Amino acid sequence: MAERRKEELLKKRQKLEELRRAREERKKEKPDEPAEKPEEKPTSINKKEELDRLLAELKLPSNKPEKTEPVEPLAEEPPAKIDTTLPTLDGSQSVNTTTSTPIAPSSPSIPGKFIPNFITFEAVILDIPPKEIVYYNKEVQTKDTSFEPPPPSEDEIRAKIVKEFEEAEKQRKAYEEEEKIKAEIEKKREAKLWELSEEEKKIIFNLPEFRDFVDLSTKYVERAINENYDVLRDYKLGEDIDDEVVEGPRVKYVCSYFDDRWNKNRSVTDVNWSKKNPELFLASYNKNPYAVNDPDGIVCVWSLRLLDRPEFIFHSQSDVLTTMFSDFHPSYIIGGTYSGQILVWDMRSKSLPVFKTPLGAAGHTHPVYAMQMVGTQNAHNLITASTDGLVCSWQLDMMTQPQESLELIYTDHPKTEEVSVTTFGFQKNESSAFWVGTEEGNIYQANRYAHAGGKAGINHYDIYKGHWGPITGLHFHPIDGQVDFSDIFLTSSVDWTVKMWRAKSVAKPSAVPQNIAPLYSFEGADDYIYDVKWSPTNPALFGCVDGKGNFALWNLNDDTEVPIASKKVGDRALNKLQWDKEGRRAAIGSSDGRVHIYDIGELCNPRDEEWNIMQSKISEMMDSNDVSAGRYALAK
């Protein structure tokens, strides 16, 4: 653009020089004319006289006017000057041209005829070149830099140079890196393939990172495979999924859980469900006498979606007799051991416990068969009881010593004052008073704290007698409903019976010793009954397991003589029973190390009149046994 602009300006200068040169040449060829020409005298009078003479010769009348008074001729005026100024092309000079115009003297008018007055005029011819028309366009009128940004500053130029240098350096490094990668790939191609040796394979397989990766990945795959869903089901056919048609109460076997590596030659000592993750349940196991190098006690966490192996395995130096998920810490698992230690495992950690109580006088020194969490989210305690009659209260974040301890002593016992606790239970929403089952078969009410009308420890006046053997299970009614049955509890024993009791009010203890009889005794079994549990959804339903491998379901509103449903789970004794949160599935622990899952279907759902019928049943039981005067009514 700049070069084109320079060429245009140069052309303009050359054109102007040519115009100046032409003007100067014209001036030289034609000299300047004088400013004024000599005046010419008018000849009009001579011409008239010659005309009169011609007319006289022809003897024609003359036009000569009659003589009048002489008139003085007017003074002749100089001819008028017409100034013509021609502008020059460059505007610097001007050429003046003066034309003299003689003015005729005035003459007497000739009546009847007008004679024109002619004058001479000398024309001055000037050679004026034609005006040049110059056409302009945008490129001529504007400069190339008119619409461009201002030139960059020194800092901007320096920054631009630095940036260009950095980009060039990056390109160079990228090129070098690319060449390096290509060289490595080529080197790998040229290198021969080699196979790991057996020793190298063994080292890799034993790496903890590799084993954890394989274990976790295979769990994900197995969960997806074990998902019980028919992907080929045709909804247009309207066929029933359950091909098994069963008349009467439906109790369906789901699956069994057993790991040959960890559960062989062990017995299940306790089972429990997770309240946060309903598909998880755990089981505790005792010692394997044939594996001296394995831990004495273990706890396995099983999942309904992982059938062949447990999700987690936790170890203990002693047999684990009871276990549970923490109600307020979902990742914590708590266990009571044969040595008396209370252990806390964390599913986020390894297999060893993260907290444990000391072995000594500060805690339990006898087997712990029962424990329960009481309180609320902000104020809760773990209550444990051992066979020497010691009851301790713990906080999970401080297990070095119990918050409080209470020794249960019954002074009226003929042989020993110690109360050997095998199981205990709290009423719903109760954290002070509790009931304990003992090896001798009696049930005692005890208080954690002293209160009006009673002291801390065993209540010596109210004794629940009815069993003829050690108490194996005790469970209070867990449901809030139309009628309050929270003071009704069940017990199981090795005397082949399940008995139902009504707890006496703690606020009104007896003043004299008395024996409290059960409301009813269920005697449908023919072997030891190791556990009994109320259903968490149906108020009249409970289940029990016995030493012959039978799982029995009782409904008080239907029949109190025989169970409404019974299943033969196996040939080995069944040690523990626990319902899930919905009351539909039952986890049953066996003495052969297996955990069986059963689904009771619609039996878990109560009918509308279930509460009232059960209230009537209990009233009849109380009347028949003369336990209390009047009818039993606890309607809210």
Of 368 and 482, the structure prediction assigns the larger pLDDT to 368
Give per-residue pLDDT as tens, 239-297: 554 444 444 568 899 999 999 989 999 999 999 999 888 899 999 999 999 988 999 99
Q: What is the pTM of this model?
A: 0.63
According to the model, what pLDDT value does residue 191 have?
A: 65
Q: Say what the pLDDT of residue 248 is.
A: 52
Kindly compute the dihedral angle of the four CA atoms of residues 629, 630, 631, 636, in this order, to the nearest 10 degrees.
-100
Over the stretch 505-537, which tens digit does the pLDDT of each residue have? 776 777 777 888 899 999 878 889 999 999 999
Give the pLDDT score at 560.
87
Neighbouring C-beta atoms of residue 33, cutoff 10 Å: 12
> What band does 97 get if pLDDT is binned at 50, 70 and 90?
very low
70 band by pLDDT with thresholds 50, 70 and 90: very low
Q: Look at 52-61, 225-234, 400-409 and tell me which has the smallest mean pLDDT.
A: 225-234
pLDDT of residue 129: 77
Give domain limits for the chain: 266-608
Are 525 and 552 in contact by the 8 Å Cβ rule? The answer is yes
Tell me what the pLDDT averaged over the chain comes to. Answer: 80
Determine whether domain 266-608 maps to CATH 2.130.10.10: yes
Arithmetic mean of pLDDT, 420-424: 90
Mean pLDDT lowest among 77-91, 340-354, 403-417, 620-634: 77-91
The mean pLDDT of 469-490, rounded to a whole number, is 88
Q: What is the enclosing helix (H) or strand (E) of 370? A: strand 368-375
* Residue showing tokens 């119990």: 402
CA 288 to chain centre: 46
User: In the predicted model, what is the mean pLDDT of residues 481-497?
Assistant: 89
Question: What's at 78, amino acid-wise?
Answer: P
Average pLDDT over residues 470-483: 88
The one-letter amino acid code at 585 reads: R
Q: For 424-459, what is each residue's pLDDT tens digit? A: 999 888 888 899 999 988 899 888 887 766 678 888
Answer whether residue 74 shows pLDDT above 70.
no
* Mean pLDDT value across residues 94-106: 42
Q: Which of 12-21, 51-60, 212-221, 292-301 has the highest mean pLDDT?
A: 292-301
Q: What is the pLDDT of residue 251?
A: 87
Tell me what pLDDT residue 392 has: 92
> What is the C-alpha separation between 241 and 244, in angstroms, rounded?
9
